[in-house]
Structure 1
Amino acid sequence: MNASRIIRRSVITGAGVVAAVALGTTSASAHHCYIPMYSLNGPTSANWLVINAEEGAAMFGIFTPSCDEQVDAGYAALREAGLPVAIKLMETRTIGDPKDGGKMNPNGANGKGLEYFGAGSTLADEMLGVWAGAAMNTVCPA
């Protein structure tokens, strides 16, 4: 493994750890579940809060891009890794919460469909870490 790849993995891992801590201590974690989004052009609704990778990284103080090239590199890395580019949180109720008439999905941390923070889902953390790692490693044009 070459040196730049080792450095890149270290940055991505470090950003992922920061993201995990941030997600575990913010209002986003007040929702115990979310839906991963694989397109930034998905339908919108007043009932849903959509947090894309760029917004999440800035919101949690992980990284704020300085140019479009950094933003684009982050999203390209997510698509290459098969990770979501955003997550959706239901604002009016908690999906799957028995108190709201829902039923918990036993597969809520498998990277498919509805994800649960409490079930150990790391998909949102991975999204932020990969996006931030790629964006940080991209040099803005002069």
Structure 2
Amino acid sequence: MPHTFRSILPAILKFVDELDVADAPIREFHGTADDTTLAATCRDYVTRLKDAGKDAVMIEYRGPYHGFDIPDARPGLNKSAQTPRNCQRREENGKIVNVSTGKPFTYADACMAPGETSGYDKAATEAAQATVKKFLTEVFHLN
């Protein structure tokens, strides 16, 4: 169940018209131990979507890391990886700007954080798949 980038990225980046999404249900599945894309930023975006009247729900699974739903995700800490998890950014005139500097964002910015942990989590994946199956069964009136 790959991530839908439109549902995740605006939590990290503030896009122009970020709440102008399709009038369709949005479901975001997240591991609480994810240190690549922080749950708090995704939760914030889902809240903004809900406040805008969208059918948005974030489901969190206790423990899994980033990529918990990718069976061949290499488990463990990748110390050489960098993530912008600490970077506040926004879209401005078609460019991504680092909010703290006011300058165009780069991966050399001081807010970049070292290391990311990933790994497949069978239980969380199966729970997410069951949630999606139940949701689709209800929406499409399937047996």
Q: TM-score, normalised by structure 1?
A: 0.32
Instruction: Indicate the structure (1 or 2) with the bigger Cα radius of gyration.
Output: 2
Q: TM-score, normalised by structure 2?
A: 0.32
Give the structure, 1 or 2, with the largest relative contact order (CA under 8 Å, sep 6 or more): 1
Which has more strand, going by share of residues? 2
Which has more helix, going by share of residues? 1
